[in-house]
């Protein structure tokens, strides 16, 4: 049973607009959530994280929102740039940042000029 789900395998957005990537989870024990970005032939690179004690974390163009009651988080990229085109993975862990990471299957974002 998948504990972390990214139901949209792909997303296409126009440059300058907002990209919204969604992630749902089922394990209520998860207390730390992360987003990774992956280019082809490279490993995932860490983007942004959020602890369950918060509902929003912002870093530049990237904002992650957490809705614990809905067991849902989302990554907003504003404004989207062509260089943002990549696969984005949502991950979650118990035990804060020290826990094992459970990854979703990823969403491929394409930002068109």
Partner 1 sequence: GAVVSQHPSWVICKSGTSVKIECRSLDFQATTMFWYRQFPKQSLMLMATSNEGSKATYEQGVEKDKFLINHASLTLSTLTVTSAHPEDSSFYICSATGGPGYGYTFGSGTRLTVV
Contacts with partner 1, residue ranges (CB under 8 A)? 9, 34, 36, 38, 42-46, 49, 87, 89, 97, 100-103, 105-106, 108
Compare residues 15 and 110 and give the one whose CB is closer to partner 1.
110
DSSP state of 100: P
Compare residues 8 and 74 and give the one whose CB is closer to partner 1.
8
In the complex, minimum distance from the CB of residue 21 to partner 1, in angstroms, rounded to a whole number: 14
CB atoms within 10 A of CB 82: 10
In the complex, minimum distance from the CB of residue 22 to partner 1, in angstroms, rounded to a whole number: 16
CA 103 to chain centre: 10
In the complex, minimum distance from the CB of residue 103 to partner 1, in angstroms, rounded to a whole number: 4
Compare residues 1 and 113 and give the one whose CB is closer to partner 1.
1
Compare residues 5 and 79 and give the one whose CB is closer to partner 1.
5
Alpha-carbon torsion 108, 15, 62, 54, what sign? negative
């Amino acid at each position: 049973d998948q504990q972390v789900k990214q139901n949209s395998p792909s997303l296409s957005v126009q440059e300058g607009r907002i990209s919204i990537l969604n992630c749902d989870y089922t394990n209520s024990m998860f207390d730390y959530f992360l987003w990774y970005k992956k280019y082809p032939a490279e490993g995932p690179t860490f983007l942004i994280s959020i602890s369950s004690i918060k509902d929003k974390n912002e870093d530049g163009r990237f904002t992650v929102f957490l809705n614990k009651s809905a067991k849902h988080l989302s990554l907003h990229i504003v404004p989207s740039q062509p260089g943002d085109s990549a696969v984005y993975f949502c991950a979650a862990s118990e035990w804060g940042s020290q826990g094992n990471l459970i990854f979703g299957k990823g969403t491929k974002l394409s930002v068109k000029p």
